[in-house]
């Protein structure tokens, strides 16, 4: 009889990574003893916040705003301050309805705090303008990381909270978008904070403030809705509903739920319907007498859309809000003495759905309500509510401003690989976590895993089915992915390398393939870098040239000047080659650690490698890139060198930065004849033009004028020119 092969099983390791790395004596120091006296969840959140701050805060405002999004929203915020109007957004010479106001409020708040003199007359913007505009966004992202780490540490393990926070913070898309003052940052940060509150409110059995956590969920959903519309509330509520349907509600007891509802909720439903009819009717009558413009029926979004009069729309809106308020208090009154409540209805009470949605409406609805009654139109002739319908449902079903038409289902898979690099190596492990999750387990780790699964699945389905697709639409998918990877890293440490060897082996080719796309040469004749895949994650125009001159420079070991000394022992490599070599070395080292079953070595290699790459990208590469995606440097030179009454014009440009950095004083010229007239004016003039249109500018100015480029190598997209 053949002998059975024994399978070696690693014991459960309850020690921490820090203890394994630094030794148990490290925690005997008085300072460490004092730290360990604090709750583990609070310590995990504090460490997560410090690390995220280390990544995001340095150099945040050292470079100008990126065109076109930061400068577009920034100009609207600047107009808010200058016009002293924070309700009706304004852009150049028309109302701005493209995005809700929360992003601009954050920018305006930062500019006001740091005293950028936005409301002053013409002239260069203050040196700390970018710091003021970006800092609230970075702080919101840091808060999201810390709150998510706290929630996961509180209901599961501190290691899961720390791992998730570290993974999320070092995902390139997360730290790159978090460093920009754009709408995607607050909506995703608010979503993460809302889901963190939900996790504590739902799963923490020991909390004494369950209601506060749930109300925090609705408050952050309101912030997300004010940042980017319905996405801020639809995704969180959908995730909760799907999670509850899978993991909470006992569907085999549906008769019990129906009988309880029929017995208890008849009277509250009557009050709800009656209150809705009365409130809606009164609102409609008053609106008709006052001549409201709410959902003005003069414009309808599509043929066949009901062309009800404006006062009818307003009555319906008030009926919904008023009916919800009446129903909330009626349900609370008629069910307060119920001792046993079936689980489905108990879930609704547990999540404070009635009062929570009232709190949500109290925060989010007023601004939308005012804008829905606003009859003026934007620069495209759309009222706010028509723009609202267009941007929400037009993007979903028809496609709006998309640069990636007819994208297939693999679109976000590819972009997601770039967005989470180098954590793509852990994706097979994350999927292994999925395979082991139990829907109705008593272990909160399984519930957290299911929340992440539902969150990721719904987001992928919603955004993947959208007719409009941009690379950055993968951004809301990152937090749930980070949670699954965090659970995998926790299990990898606790259960050992043997149990997860297959997932680790499968992750290696994924990391190699994505790394090849990022670090490989674009063609055999160039020594440059291909990190454009990263920057495309958060730019609008993917044809924008990549500043290779900033990243293809040669770095030499053994001499002072690589370009002049190419003989002897001098070794010259490009930034791309250094990054590719570093990535390859880290991967080989990690594989070696895994082969020798050094769990501490494997984790140290991975964590240090991810941290170093993120720090380098934030502190070095992002700073170099930014000079080519902003017009601040050109306008600084213009304001430093111009003489009084020397105007500046932008020629065939619509990048928004020219409007923001000139305080809306730039002359927009998009016609050769107009440029000829502009150049014919007496005295020296200035112009800003794209490099590839400089020849057109020369022709438009004419042979009798002298054009001089000011620091032409400063920016690979724009060039500042004097005309004399």
Cis? peptide before 290, omega within 30° of 0: no
Tens digit of pLDDT for each residue in 334-392? 888 888 888 888 899 999 999 999 999 999 999 999 999 888 888 888 888 888 887 77
Tens digit of pLDDT for each residue in 379-435? 888 888 888 887 777 665 555 566 565 567 778 888 888 999 999 999 999 999 888
| Range with the largest mean pLDDT of 33-37, 120-124, 300-304 | 120-124
The larger pLDDT score, comparing residue 152 to residue 16, is at 152
The per-residue pLDDT for 399 is 55
CA angle 390, 392, 397 (to 5 degrees): 80
Task: Return contacts of 522-525, CB within 8 angstroms, 24+ apart.
Answer: none
d(CA 293, CA 299): 11
Residue among 224, 241, 198, 236 at smallest CA distance from 364: 224
Alpha helix positions (H), 336-410: 343-350, 353-372, 384-389, 395-397
Tens digit of pLDDT for each residue in 46-93? 999 999 999 999 999 999 999 899 999 999 999 999 999 999 999 998
CB contact at 8 A, 40 and 161: no
Tens digit of pLDDT for each residue in 678-724? 999 999 999 999 999 999 999 999 888 899 999 998 898 999 999 98
Q: How many residues does the chain have?
A: 724
The per-residue pLDDT for 526 is 44
d(CA 103, CA 127): 21
The per-residue pLDDT for 388 is 85
CB contact at 8 A, 722 and 708: yes
d(CA 372, CA 383): 8
Secondary structure (3-state) at 442: coil
pTM: 0.91
Band (pLDDT 50/70/90 cuts) for residue 97 is: very high
Strand partners, 668: 650
Tens digit of pLDDT for each residue in 211-262? 999 999 999 999 999 999 999 999 999 999 999 999 998 888 888 889 988 8
The per-residue pLDDT for 242 is 95
CB contact at 8 A, 713 and 548: no
């Amino acid at each position: 009889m053949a002998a059975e092969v024994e399978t070696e099983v690693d014991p459960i390791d309850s020690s921490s990574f820090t203890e394994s790395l630094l030794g148990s004596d490290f925690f005997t120091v008085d300072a460490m003893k004092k730290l360990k006296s604090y709750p583990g969840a609070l310590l995990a959140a504090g460490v997560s916040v410090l690390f995220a701050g280390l990544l995001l805060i340095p150099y945040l405002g050292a470079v100008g705003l990126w065109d076109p999004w930061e400068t577009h929203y920034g100009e609207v915020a600047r107009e808010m301050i200058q016009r002293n109007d924070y309700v009706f957004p304004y852009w150049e010479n028309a109302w701005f309805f493209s995005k809700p106001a929360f992003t601009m409020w954050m920018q305006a708040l930062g500019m006001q705090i740091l005293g950028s003199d936005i409301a002053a007359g013409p002239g260069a913007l203050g040196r700390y303008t970018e710091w003021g505009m970006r800092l609230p966004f970075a702080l919101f992202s840091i808060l999201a990381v810390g709150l998510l780490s706290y929630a996961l540490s509180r209901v599961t393990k501190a290691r899961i909270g720390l791992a998730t926070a570290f993974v999320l913070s070092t995902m390139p898309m997360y730290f790159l978008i978090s460093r920009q003052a754009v709408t995607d940052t607050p909506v995703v940060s608010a979503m993460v904070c809302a889901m963190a509150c939900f996790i504590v409110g739902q799963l923490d059995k020991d909390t004494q403030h369950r209601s506060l956590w749930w109300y925090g969920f609705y408050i952050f959903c309101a912030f997300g809705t004010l940042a980017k519309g319905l996405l801020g509330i639809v995704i969180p509520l959908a995730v909760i509903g799907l999670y509850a349907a899978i993991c909470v509600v006992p569907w085999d007891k549906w008769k019990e739920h129906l009988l309880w509802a029929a017995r208890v909720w008849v009277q509250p439903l009557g009050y709800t319907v009656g209150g809705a009819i009365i409130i809606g009717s009164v609102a409609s009558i008053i609106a008709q007498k006052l001549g409201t413009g709410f959902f003005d029926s003069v414009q309808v979004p599509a043929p066949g859309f009901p062309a009800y009069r404006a006062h009818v729309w307003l009555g319906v809106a008030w009926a919904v809000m008023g009916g919800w308020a009446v129903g909330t208090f009626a349900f609370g009154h008629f069910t307060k003495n119920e001792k046993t409540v079936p689980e489905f209805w108990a879930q609704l009470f547990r999540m404070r759905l009635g009062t929570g949605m009232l709190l949500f409406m109290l925060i989010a609805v007023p601004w939308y309500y005012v804008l829905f009654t606003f009859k003026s139109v934007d620069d495209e002739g759309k009222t706010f509510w028509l723009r609202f319908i267009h941007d929400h449902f037009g993007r979903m079903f028809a496609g709006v401003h998309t640069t990636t038409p007819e994208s297939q289902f693999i679109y976000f898979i590819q972009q997601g690989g770039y967005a989470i690099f180098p954590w793509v190596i852990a994706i097979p492990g994350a999927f292994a976590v999925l395979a082991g999750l139990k829907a109705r387990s008593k272990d909160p780790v399984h519930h957290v895993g299911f929340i992440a699964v539902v969150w990721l699945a719904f987001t992928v389905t919603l955004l993947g089915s959208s007719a409009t697709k941009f690379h950055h639409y993968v951004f809301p998918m990152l937090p749930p992915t980070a949670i699954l990877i965090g659970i995998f890293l926790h299990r990898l440490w606790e259960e050992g390398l043997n149990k997860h060897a297959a997932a680790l082996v499968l992750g290696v080719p994924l990391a190699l393939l994505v790394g090849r796309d990022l670090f490989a040469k674009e063609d055999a004749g160039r020594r440059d870098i291909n990190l454009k895949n990263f920057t495309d994650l958060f730019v609008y125009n993917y044809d924008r040239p990549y500043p290779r001159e900033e990243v293809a420079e040669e770095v030499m070991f053994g001499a002072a000047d690589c370009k002049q000394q190419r003989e002897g022992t001098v070794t010259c490599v490009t930034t791309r080659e250094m990054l590719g070599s570093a990535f390859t070395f880290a991967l080989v080292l990690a594989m070696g650690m895994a082969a020798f079953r050094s769990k501490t070595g494997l984790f140290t290699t991975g964590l240090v490698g991810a941290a170093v790459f993120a720090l380098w990208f934030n502190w070095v590469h992002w700073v170099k890139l930014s000079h080519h995606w902003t017009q601040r440097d050109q306008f600084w030179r213009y304001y430093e060198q111009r003489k009084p009454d020397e105007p500046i014009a932008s020629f065939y440009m619509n990048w928004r930065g020219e409007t923001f950095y000139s305080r809306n004083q730039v002359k927009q010229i998009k016609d050769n004849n107009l440029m000829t007239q502009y150049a014919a004016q007496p005295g020296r003039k200035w112009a800003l033009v794209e490099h590839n249109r400089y020849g057109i500018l020369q022709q438009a100015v004419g042979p009798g004028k002298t054009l001089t480029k000011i620091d032409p190598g400063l920016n690979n997209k724009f060039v500042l020119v004097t005309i004399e």
